[in-house]
A = this chain, B = another copy of it.
Amino acid sequence: MHLPTLRQLEFLCAVADHGSFSKAAEACFVTQPTLSAAIKEIEGHLGVQLIEREARGASLTQAGEAAVERARTILSDTADLVSAARQAGAPLTGPFRLGAIPTIAPFLLPRTLKALRKAHPNLKLYLREDQTERLLDGLKNRTLDAALIALPWEANGIETMDLGDDEFLLVAPTGHDLISQHAIRSTDLVDEDVLLLEDGHCLRDHALSVCRLPSKRGGADVTATSLPTLVHMVAGGLGVSLLPKLAIDAGVASGADVELKPFETPMIGRRIGIAWRTGSPRASEAQMIGEIVRRAL
């Protein structure tokens, strides 16, 4: 079977992107006739018209749409092959773009980075703090190599590695009833004012779900933008809340006028994990970084 050239596939995608032979040619750093000939050749080999030549540019036929979609994954897979191989030659070196959600990053990374630097001095780590959704977008569009998020999180084309549990503790104003209570369960919070992070933080959703709270409750919802803020609000008597042990260990509650208390078994909490794009050339590095983070947990 006669295969098209990757170059030709690039040309095809470029035409799809720019809607014009000339623009596409420019983007590919070739002249328009070159590109025209290449497209014509693909069409010849495939026996199908892929591109509709119109007066005002070019558009894809149905077959073209399908072909472009396949071509894009082929090209990106090939790019992955290249960087994976390059990486294999010099593992854990060069730039690595790691994302982390805001309820993990400030508490976990300080400890981790030191260990990471020690283990892999040639690794240049670029950090990005953002909410889960956007981190996963980053993985998919290749602006991130890996991301620390809370599991489980199913997403197509994303693989994850489990790094351990992160228990939730009750945080309440000093002297609050719940603290003196013998044993508290997550469901005891139904009648409390539970303070939460603002919408979009996965910790908010976790807290809601472990307490079996409806996502929309009556009354004015009081939300915080970060965990330190949340602690202050609890200290101020606005209500109680949950804090991940990770944040507590990092000292987020120290000095504030609050008390902490673990829940009765079964433990409630979240799982921390590292995620990467399926087939990412740096998947193995993501796992090695994950291993180091796990030890730091």
Contact = CB atoms under 8 A, between A and B. Distances in A.
Interface of A: 1-6, 9, 45-48, 50, 62-63, 66-67, 70-71, 73-75, 77-86, 88-90, 279
B4 A78 contact: yes
A48 B3 CA distance: 26
Given A48-B89, A79-B1, A84 B70 contact: yes
A38 to B, nearest CB: 14
In the complex, which of the residues A1, A45, A47, A74 has the most CB atoms of chain B within 10 Å of its own CB atom? Answer: A74
Contacts of A82: 1-4, 45-46
Given A6-B3, A6-B5, A6-B6, A77 B86 contact: no
Nearest to A283: B66
Contact of A85 (B5, B63, B84): B63
A221 to B, nearest CB: 40
Given A1-B79, A77-B77, A86 B48 contact: yes
Residue in A70, A75, A85, A279 whose Cβ sees the most chain B Cβ within 10 Å: A85
5 contacts: A2-B82, A4-B81, A6-B6, A47-B89, A48-B88
A3 to B, nearest CB: 5
Given A6-B6, A50-B85, A66-B88, 15 more contacts: A1-B83, A5-B6, A9-B78, A46-B82, A47-B86, A47-B89, A47-B90, A48-B85, A62-B88, A63-B88, A63-B89, A70-B77, A70-B81, A73-B77, A74-B81
A80 to B, nearest CB: 7
A74 to B, nearest CB: 5
A66 B79 contact: no
A71 B84 CA distance: 12
Contacts of A279: 70
A5 B3 CA distance: 11
A7 to B, nearest CB: 8
A78 B8 CA distance: 12
Contacts of A50: 85
A128 to B, nearest CB: 22
Contacts of A63: 85, 88-89
Nearest to A47: B89
Contacts of A45: 82
